[in-house]
Structure 1
Amino acid sequence: MREESTLIKQILDFAQEESSVRAVALNGSRVNPNVIRDIMQDYDVTFFIRNFEDISYKTNPNWIKRFGELIIFQQNDFKDGSYVFLMQFKEGVRIDLSFKNVMKVDEVIKEDSLTKILLDKDNIIPALPLPNDYTYYVKKPAQKEYDTLMNEAWWIQTYIAKAIWRDELPLAKYMFDVILIDCIRTILSWYIGINYDWNINVGKCGKWFKRFLPESIYNEFITLYPTIDYDEMWHTLFEADKFIRKIGSVVAEKLGYTYPMNDDMNVTEYLKTVQALPQNAAEFCPTKELNEIYVENVEKLFE
């Protein structure tokens, strides 16, 4: 695998030879002082080009061969006309190379605090502060954002319950593994944000949770990914409820918001009802025993 200095030189040599490329920036983990270096790090590079209407880089991508032998690449377009090549090379190097309009360079570089200018042919880019990840910090939610997220966290569980009851595993897994877990990740991000005074980047999809959460909470979180066994899914769903209740209540208290206790109680009752329904049930009706158990234990939900 090529060393970073070698690859950066190749990128800059190419940019110097291309008259349309006026500036080059390096973004992402390669310039983030808080990231632990490893061999899987991408090179996030931006070429700022003039004659932006010229799309020859897209129509004739033979230029990629200069950077190595590809395994696969993907080319994506953005609404503003910019585009990116995501390139995975056989030796392990990955380059995500974006092409953006040089006329918008001032606007673009302000969007990402993890930016280091490698080349500026026309001296048009003002001096930048040292790269840092403040634009990626967890943002403190407003009351409405908190309420909306918590509502989603409880609402989506009704889908999970119905999908389990109907034996619709793909739907149950998607709603649990993707939608519900994403809600929980957001709540955890806020929890971490509070503890770090909102000066913290938890990484894409919470990939750095292990660094910033107490070990006990992190271990609780990672047990919330269920298997394909329905009994285990029900068990994990109720464990997820406890976790949402615990972390969501702390976040609400710290922010001065109100935890949605009624949603919690009502959905928990609904889940228990669906769990107890026979597969051939002709009507939706909680059993007497279930109601008695629920009433007896409802206070324990918030212990």
Structure 2
Amino acid sequence: MHVNYQTTIVKTAEKDDRIRAVILNGSRANSLVKPDKYQDYDIVYFVTDIETVKIEEVIHQAFGEPIIEQRPDDMELGNEIGNTPISYTYLMIFEDYSRIDLTLFPIGELAKYKRDSLSVVWLDKDHLFDDIPQPSDRDYHVNRPTQRAFTEVCNEFWWCTTNVAKGLAREERLYAKDMMETVVRPMFTELLSWKIGCEHNFEVSIGKSGKFIKQYLSAEDYNRVLRTYSNANVQRTWDALTVMTTYFYELQLYLGKQLELEVNTSEANQVLKYIKYIQENPQ
């Protein structure tokens, strides 16, 4: 069954006096993103009374029962105990596999609402959002690094690559992979984002988890990035680490020159020497 979710979302709000405004956020509000059937509907309902809307199950009445649902504000997972959020969110996937991420936000706390540059007003009964500009991804643009940020990201990268190397030498594959992907890679991605930002006047976004990086790199550079990923094979992980450290060092030098940042080449070279020693002397 085909469902026109925009119509349903807006009509539900129009019929309920407690829902005063509807805003669309996210990729569906971003003209730079190619539309596809997997895009979520990121919706905010601005309401006069969150609790009655929740209790009366207005959401399920409007959209039907989801095949899977998450209410993150009711969960201990990922939340600080005792921290009561202002808003309330439903994450829902329906039988046609459409997804709606719907947040209820209290009108009485509107001053605390953090506006998103990717916002389209679908309904505004009280003219609360007449001043919202045209949607853009400016809130998500890569920021130009300060010297301190650059120095600390580079230091974190080089420090933690030694943990990857030691894990590989000991054949502690799970540890090595975890360090590589959860600690080292974010630093690598940060430098990639700064390179891309530098080349585009810091007026672009690389997307969540770097999903737009491909469109800003040459085919050769993108292939290098892909080669930093490996399976659980020890030798292939060593190869991926070598590709990553080599590319990272090049990025350091490039950014240092382009953005007039001080580069700690001694730190990088000493760590590269140490990693090579570990690889050649695993036991």
TM-score by length of 1: 0.85
Give the unaligned 5+ runs of structure 1: 280-303
2:206 to 202, 209, 212: 202
Q: After superposition, what is the alpha-carbon deviation per residue over 1:227-280, rounded to whole angstroms, capped at 9, x for unaligned?
A: 21111211221121110011121112111112221111111111112112243x
Structure 2 distance, partners of 1:30, 1:231, is 42
The alpha carbon displacement at 1:177 in A equals 2.1
**Residue type of the partner of 2:158?**
W
Name the structure 2 match of 1:70: 66
- Between 76-85 and 197-206, the greater mean CA deviation after superposition: 76-85
1:267 aligned residue (271, 276, 282): 271
Match of 2:135 among 131, 137, 150: 131
Paired position in structure 1 for 2:117: 113
Relative contact order, higher structure (CA 8 A, sep 6+): 2
Query: Per-residue displacement from partner, 1:67-114 (whole Å, max 9, x unpaired)?
Result: 144221111127542121111112121100011121343553x53111
Identity of aligned residues (%): 31
Aligned to 2:76: none
Matches within 5 A, 1:47-66: 47-52=45-50, 54=51, 57=54, 61=57, 63-66=59-62
1:183, distance to aligned residue in structure 2 (A):
1.2
Where structure 2 has 5 or more consecutive residues not aligned to the other structure, the ranges are 74-78
Read off the aligned partner of 1:209 and give its amino acid letter: I
For this pair of structures, how many residues does the alignment match? 274
Q: Distance in 1 between matches of 2:155 and 2:252?
A: 11
8 Å CA contact 2:170–2:282 kept in 1: the answer is no
Q: What is the 5 A alignment of 1:121-200?
A: 121-200=125-204
CA 1:65/1:56 → structure 2, altered by over 3 Å: closer, same or farther?
Answer: closer
TM-score by structure 2 length? 0.90
Secondary structure at the residue paired with 1:23?
strand
Residue 71 of structure 1 contacts residue 90 of structure 1 at CA under 8 Å; is this kept in 2?
yes
Larger radius of gyration: 1
- What residue identity is the alignment partner of 1:74? Q
Match of 2:100 in 1: 95
Which whole-Å deviations, capped at 9, do the CAs of 1:106-152 have from their partners, x for residues lacking one? Answer: 553x5311111111122222332111111111111111111111111
State the Cα RMSD in Å: 1.9
User: 1:86 pairs with 84, 91, 106, which one?
Assistant: 91
Amino acid at match of 1:37: P
Q: Which residue of 2 aligns with 1:45?
A: 43
Q: d(CA) in 2 for partners of 1:150 and 1:166?
A: 25
Q: What SS class does the counterpart of residue 190 from structure 1 fall into?
A: helix
Q: Is the 8 A contact 1:111 1:135 kept in 2?
A: no
Structure 1 contact 105–125 (Cα < 8 Å) conserved: no
